[in-house]
Structure 1
C-alpha cells in the first residue's frame, strides 16, 4: 500500500540541489510551511529561486531563508511588508534578484503550469512596465499580454490534514496557493498538522488529491 508519510525529513531536504526552484505556499504567514522552509536552511542548497506571493513576512520562514543567503531570486507579487525589511535591504544591496508578478498573474501562471498549458493571455499589466518586451494581442476589442507558465522543481505547501495516500485538506485562508503549487511542481512536499487513516477524509473535503503530492511530513516530525 502507498504510504507518503515520512519522518525522515532530513533525507528529503538533502536531495534539493543548488540552483533549485521552490514554490512555497502562503499569504504572508497564513499557510506558509514555516518549519519546512527553516529546516531547509540546515542543508544549505545555494542559488535558490523561490516563488511565493510575498517576499517575506515577520521573522520566520522565508525571512530566515533570505537571511541565510541561499536565495538568488524571488518571484513574487509583494516584495515589501510592513513587519520586515529583510528582502528590501537584500535587494537594494544587490544580493537577491526580483521578478515582480501581479498577484492574479502569479496564480494564473502557476495554474497554467499545473494544467499543462503552453501560455496564457491576461489583461493585467497591459500598457505598463510588466508588458515590456512581451507579446501583446487584441482579442474581442480588449488588449492582452502573453505570459508563460511558472513551474518549479519543488513545492513546499502547508495543509491541515493528510492521509497516507497524500490527499490533503486545508483550513480556511491557509488554502491560498497550496493547491495550485502542488500541481505545478515536479516534487511536492506537504507539511501538515495531522495525519489520519486512509478513508477518514471526506472525499468532498479533499482539495489536493494525493496524485499531486509525493511526500507528507507532520509539523512535529520536523526538527
Structure 2
C-alpha cells in the first residue's frame, strides 16, 4: 500500500459474506464497485473488495496507471489493517509496527453517539535519526443527515474523526466522513499538519 493511499484510508449487519468482514455501513461484497473522485486533484478511482480467506480481505483502488491495495483482517470487533514494510515520507521512511483497536467497527457501533479509537505505533528514520512515535485517531458518530454528492442523495451517518501523533515532531488534524447504510463512504473531507484529502462517490452498484 502506498503512503498516500494509507493516509487517505485513515480518513479510512453483514451484507457481503455473512460474517465479520462486512457491516451495513461498510459493505465489502466482492460484486460491488464504488467509483470515487478525489476533490483535491480530480483523480478518479474504482474501489473493489476480494475475500482472500476466512477472515481476510483485499481492498483495491484502481487509478489510471496505478493500483493501491489495503489488506484487511476481520475480527468480531471490526476491520483492522497494518500496512506492511517501510513507507516513504519526506526525508526518510516510516513503518507501522502495531495497531490497537479497529479502523472500521462492527455493526453495533453504527448509531448516533457511537465512538471508537485506534492507535498505531510507529518506527522509522529521518535523515540520520532513528525515531519512534504514534498515531491515534478518535472517531465519533455525531449525526444522521441527508447529503447530496455526484452519485445521488443519501441518508448518512456523519463521523467526526480527530487525530494526533508524534514522530520527531507533533502532528494532528481532523476529518469528516459520511457513511450511508448499504453503501459505505459517500464523502470525506480531511485536513491536517501535512495536508488533507477529500473525495466523493460518483457511482455505486454491481
Same fold (TM over 0.5): no
- Bigger radius of gyration among the two: 1
Greater relative contact order (CA < 8 Å, ≥ 6 in sequence): 1
Task: Report which of the two has the higher share of helix.
Answer: 1
